[in-house]
Amino acid sequence: MKKILFPLLLFPLLSSAQETQPRFENDTLYTTSGYKIYEGQVLQLAKGTSAAGYFRFIKFHYSMAKTDTYTLQDGSILVKKLKNYKNSGSDKLSIRIEGTVTYKNGSKAETDIIMEFEKATQSPDRLPNELTVPEEFLVKQTITENTAPVKHEVKRQTEPVAESKKQDSPADLKKIMVADEIKKLFDLYKSGALTKEEYEAQKKKLLERQ
C-alpha cells in the first residue's frame, strides 16, 4: 500500500514542475517565466541587442526576403497566427509568428518572424530584453542576479509583508492585461490597420481567455 501511495503523492509535484516548462497548447505559447503569447495579442518590441542594432532573437522568416530587423525597434506586432513551435533543447526554443507590425513611425505592414522566445523575454547576457514583458515576469531573472547578498535580500523581502497583501491578485492582473490588449486592438482598428470584423474577432478571443 505504501509503495502505491508514494507515487501518488509525488505525482502532483511532478505535474506542477512540468507546468513551468515552455510549451505550446491550444494556440497559446507558455514561456518558462509564465509569460504567454497568443493570437490577438499585441507584442511590444524593444531594441535589437546586437552591436549594429539588429535583433538577435527576433528574425524575419526567410519568406520575407529581408534581414533588416533593426526597423522593428520600439514597434509592436499584432499576433494573428502562431505556428512551427520548436523545442529541441534550451538553445533551440522558437515560435513562428505571423501578424501585423506597427513600426515606430506609425506605418504598418504584414510580417512573418521567428522568435527565440525564451531569450527574447529573458536576455541571457544581462542586456535589455528584446521583447518587452510585464515586470511580474522578470522576477526569476532578478532573483538570479541578486543571489550574492542573501541576507539583505531576505531582510528586504520579509519587511514589506503588509504591502505585498495589497498587490493585485493574478486574476486582477490578467483582467488588466486583457483590457490593455483590447485597447491596443481598438487603436489599430481606429487607425485603419484592422477591419471591424477583425477587431471584433480578436477582441472575442481575448475575452474568452479571461
Average pLDDT along the chain, 210 residues, taken 10 residues at a time: 50 49 90 93 94 91 92 95 85 91 95 94 88 83 48 51 52 77 84 84 81
Q: Reduce the secondary structure of 66-111 to three states and give it as a string.
A: CCCHHHHCCCEEEEEEEEEEEECCCCCEEEEEEEEEECCCCCEEEE
Q: Is residue 157 part of a domain?
A: yes
Distance CA 151, CA 157 (A): 10
Half-sphere exposure of 47 (CA within 13 A, CB side): 7
User: What's the number of domains the chain is made of?
Assistant: 1
In this prediction the pTM is 0.63
Residue-level pLDDT at 178: 80
CA atoms of 203 and 42, how far apart (whole Å): 11
Give the pLDDT confidence score for residue 162 in this predicted structure. Answer: 46
CA distance 128 to 123: 7
Q: Computed from CA positions of residues 102, 104, 107, 109, in that sequence, does the dihedral angle turn out positive or negative?
A: negative
Tell how many helices (H) and how many strands (E) occur in the chain.
Answer: 7, 9
Q: Is 46 a domain residue? A: yes
Is position 13 within any domain?
no
What is the per-residue pLDDT for 19? 53
Domain of 82, in residue numbers: 21-208
